[in-house]
Amino acid sequence: MPDLSASQLWVLGVFGTVYLGMILGGLPRLQLDRTGVALLGAIAIVGAGVMTPEAAAEAIHLPTILLLFSFMVISAQMRLGGFYGALTRRIAALPLGPAGLMGVVIAASGALSAVFSNDIVCLAMAPLLLEACLRRRLDPIPFLLGLACASNIGSAATLIGNPQNMLIGEVLKLHFGNYSLQALPPVLAGLALLWALLAWQMRHGAPAAEQQAPPPDEPPFDAWQTAKGLIVAGVLVAVFLFSPWPRDVAALVGAGLLLLSQRFHSSKVMGLIDWELLILFMGLFVVNAALERSGMTQAAIHWLLAQGLDLSQPGPLFGATLALSNLVSNVPAVMLLLPGASSATAAPTAGVALALVSTLAGNLLIVGSIANIIVVDAARRAGVVIDWRRHARTGLPVTLLSLAFTALWLAWLARP
């Protein structure tokens, strides 16, 4: 390897520090989370003159940011309209046994997460589901795990279900309908496996002791505001399927229509936007672009090729996505692996593989996805502890089985 210039060494140091922060969730002795680390990395790149502010702005993939922001607005509309709360209460009141109720929870959270953000679905439904389980003297932990795992699995069904899929779809220009047709079998299989495992675990568990959880502070149900959100979401899905209109522009128009409201002040909607996630994306875009501009990304790809590891091919891409998604989390992992998936030699199913594996791998560990962390935190606030061992009893087998099915499915798609 040739000697690196001072600029390259600086970029490599910033890149290494940022991704160390992605692994650790922050930097030791500093009050920084992943978002703060990514932002600081981008500042270090621009501040050192490696990239001008204009070049850094151009490195940010604006269509992905706009699409992500727009669906955050739509999800905020649904939450302010009381949709998630009303649906969760309706599910909890169904006259079903534990296994039947689990099936409805998994189906509902999986379906909602395919269209709306899986993080928002978990944030809105987890406290209400926990309260309902305790009221019915059901152990809430399997149901909360079902909610988290199903939302992760279900979000893989479309290119708008989670942030990494939005990024993959926009960068690789994947067709919305074709992707869903290819992703749906592994998603349905994963949801079925999750239900079977949790139903079996509940048969061997003890009933929950009588306990009360504080009633969650949820907005009342508003049929008209909910209908507005559902109509906009439905129209956007139809546009994505049948229109050449750019997805980011269509989604932005839909979000703008929802902001024209006589009921909800725009500040309420903006207060539910995950600005930290948007900043995380922007920071990582700048840091990764700096590494690519330095030539080190291509050098690393060529070195991996020399070792027989071609990240444009299904097998190596599958393994690298699984490993990196649990090491640095799925969004940073996808950003690192997109150059391989978008190369001229990439397999036709590279984008589908990257989206499915990065999403399904999020169920392996609690820190594998934000949805898991949201559910665990909601349980902790109510005095219910879900530690990594309890999560692993469900997350580990579901992840391995769903990924095994996905590998077989991708191999079938890639057949001559």
pLDDT in tens, 173-184: 999 999 999 999
Residues 6+ apart with CB under 8 A from 369: 118, 148, 152, 329, 330, 362, 363
Q: What is the share, in percent, of the chain residues with pLDDT greater than 70? A: 96
- Average pLDDT of 37-59? 95
**Is 172 domain-assigned?**
yes
92 close to 125: Cβ distance less than 8 angstroms: no
pLDDT for the residue numbered 366: 85
DSSP 261-328: -SSS-HHHHHHTS-HHHHHHHHHHHHHHHHHHHTTHHHHHHHHHHHTT--TTSHHHHHHHHHHHHHHT
Query: Smallest Cα–Cα separation from 193: which of 266, 284, 128, 106?
Result: 106
**Mean pLDDT taken over the chain:** 89
Tokens encoding 284: 């990582």
Question: Lowest mean pLDDT: which of 94-103, 129-138, 306-315?
Answer: 306-315
pLDDT for the residue numbered 205: 59
pLDDT for the residue numbered 331: 86
Confidence of residue 305 (pLDDT cuts 50, 70, 90): confident
Confidence of residue 160 (pLDDT cuts 50, 70, 90): very high
pLDDT for the residue numbered 286: 95
- Average pLDDT of 397-410? 95
- Average pLDDT of 329-348? 83
Across 89-98, 263-272, 360-369, 393-402, the highest mean pLDDT is recorded for: 393-402
- Average pLDDT of 74-95? 90
Question: 99-108 burial, b for 16+ CB within 10 Å, e for fewer?
Answer: eebbbbbbeb
pLDDT for the residue numbered 195: 97
CA-CA distance, 238 to 221, in Å (whole number)? 26
382 close to 127: Cβ distance less than 8 angstroms: yes
State yes or no: pLDDT of 329 exceeds 90: no
State yes or no: pLDDT of 187 exceeds 70: yes
pLDDT for the residue numbered 213: 52
Please give the model's pTM, rounded to 2 decimal places.
Answer: 0.88
**Is 1 domain-assigned?**
no
The larger pLDDT score, comparing residue 211 to residue 196, is at: 196
- Average pLDDT of 242-250? 93
Domain that holds residue 259: 6-413
- Average pLDDT of 295-322? 84
**Is 280 domain-assigned?**
yes
pLDDT for the residue numbered 216: 61
Q: Where are the beta strands (DSSP E) in 49-153?
A: none
pLDDT for the residue numbered 145: 96
**Is 239 domain-assigned?**
yes
- Average pLDDT of 313-336? 87
pLDDT in tens, 340-398: 888 767 778 899 999 999 999 989 988 788 888 889 888 888 888 898 889 999 999 99
**Is 184 domain-assigned?**
yes
State yes or no: pLDDT of 247 exceeds 80: yes
**Is 360 domain-assigned?**
yes
CA-CA distance, 186 to 6, in Å (whole number)? 47
Confidence of residue 240 (pLDDT cuts 50, 70, 90): very high
* CA dihedral sign, ordered 328, 332, 334, 340: negative
The larger pLDDT score, comparing residue 108 to residue 221, is at: 108
State yes or no: pLDDT of 207 exceeds 70: no
pLDDT in tens, 113-143: 999 878 888 888 898 899 889 888 889 999 9
| Number of compact structural domains in the chain | 1
DSSP 18-78: HHHHHHHTS-TTS---HHHHHHHHHHHHHHTTSS-HHHHHHHS-HHHHHHHHHHHHHHHHH
